[in-house]
Every structure is written in C-alpha cells, then in structure tokens.
Amino acid sequence: MVKFKSPWITALIVAGIVLVCLVVAIPVGWYLISPLFINRQVAEGLPAPAIEIIPATATAALEAAQVEPTREMKEPMPTEAAAGPVALRQGSFYSIAHDGSGRATVYQLADGSRILRFESFEVLNGPDLHVYLAPIDPVPNSVGAEIPGSVDLGKLKGNIGDQNYDLPPDLDLAGFKSVVIWCQPFRVPFAAAALATP
C-alpha cells in the first residue's frame, strides 16, 4: 500500500473515495428503497363494447318514424344485448413476500381480444414490479429463483387501483394457473392470485 507523507493528501484521497461511494450509493439506494414509501395509483375502466355509428339512411328512417308514431312496425325488435366483456378466469390476490389484495380477472372483450384486469388491487410498491402469468399454483415464496414458463405482461402500472393488461392473442390460457406481481431486481414474488374458471 502506498503511504503519503502528508496527512492532507491522505485525507483528500479518503474524502474522494467517500464522495464516489456516496454518488453511487445514493441513487441505487433511492431506486431500491423509495418505492416502498411511494404509492402509484391507477384508475382504468373496463373497456366497453364499441358504439356502432348509425348510418344516415337509418337516421332518415328514424325521422320518418317520428312523423308517424302510431304506425305499427312489422320487423321484430332485436332481443340480444350488445356483447360485453366475458370473464374467463378469476381469482383473489394473496400475500407472498409482501401484502397484496384485490381481484384479478381475465376478460374476453366483444372484439375477441383478451385482457387481464385488476380491481380493488393493492400491493406494497417496490422497484421494477412486473405482471407475470405463471404455470404454477400456489406460487412459492422464493428469492432469486425465476418461475419457469412464466410470461411477462409488462411493468405494473400502479401498486394501487384498477388496471388492465393486454394478453397476447396466441396465448393459451390453459397453461397458466396464477398471476404474479414480480420484483425484477430481487427476483421475488410480492403477491399472486390463482386463476380459475368463474
């Protein structure tokens, strides 16, 4: 080890090392710890069926019908309501490494697409949380071990509130039994919900 004759030089070197350590440690510490104290709230609605635009010819027929309100219609009224979201799978969140609550539901929308929806959802916030579909149930409380066969649906939009996640069109739901809130940096499951047919 190199020894300097002047205590001032030694003090400056030590101060420089401490400063470099602080410059690195403060941002890393903020990234890892600050989410525990910051909540991100989301309030997304359930997608509604598309509203059909009435063509001009139908508008003209409606205006003609208003002129003759007592005229009897020969065509039957449609009996089917517009197709809305249909629940395919659902389950309640349970705590694993941290407290989690709320409901997860997979919906098929009127256009055939599918979404994963969280309602009354809440989990402790953390660094870089993602939403996973996992092929296992229950999800074990393990640190540092990935869940083989999982599908990452993207970053968690918020640790509180209602939110939607698009599912890939070619995803076979039969292969997945749970939705997991997964912490990427620590590779740990925060909370999960078992997905079952309603």
Residue 154 CA to residue 132 CA, distance in Å, equals 8
| Full pLDDT tens readout for the chain, 198 residues | 555 567 777 666 766 676 665 555 455 444 456 556 689 999 999 987 654 444 555 556 556 666 665 666 566 555 454 568 999 999 999 999 999 999 999 999 999 999 999 999 999 999 999 999 999 999 999 988 899 999 999 999 999 999 999 999 999 999 999 999 999 999 999 999 999 999
pLDDT of residue 84: 81
Amino acid in the structure at residue 182: W
3-class state of residue 153 by DSSP = strand
Q: How is 157-196 classified by DSSP, letter by letter?
A: S-SEEEEEEEPPTT--GGG--EEEEEETTTTEEEEEEE-B
173 φ/ψ angles, rounded to the nearest 5 degrees: -65, -25
Neighbours of 46 (CB within 10 A): 14
Specify the pTM.
0.71
Q: Both ends of the chain: CA-CA distance in Å?
A: 69
pLDDT of residue 35: 58
pLDDT of residue 28: 46
pLDDT of residue 104: 98
Beta bridge mates, 85:
none
Residue 189 CA to residue 139 CA, distance in Å, equals 8
> How distant, in Å, are the alpha carbons of 49, 52, 145 from that of 82?
7, 10, 45
Largest CA distance in the chain: 110
Residue 185 CA to residue 35 CA, distance in Å, equals 13
Q: List, in order, residues 6 or more apart from 159 with CB less than 8 Å away.
A: 35, 39, 40, 122, 123, 124, 125, 126, 129
Residue 20 CA to residue 8 CA, distance in Å, equals 18
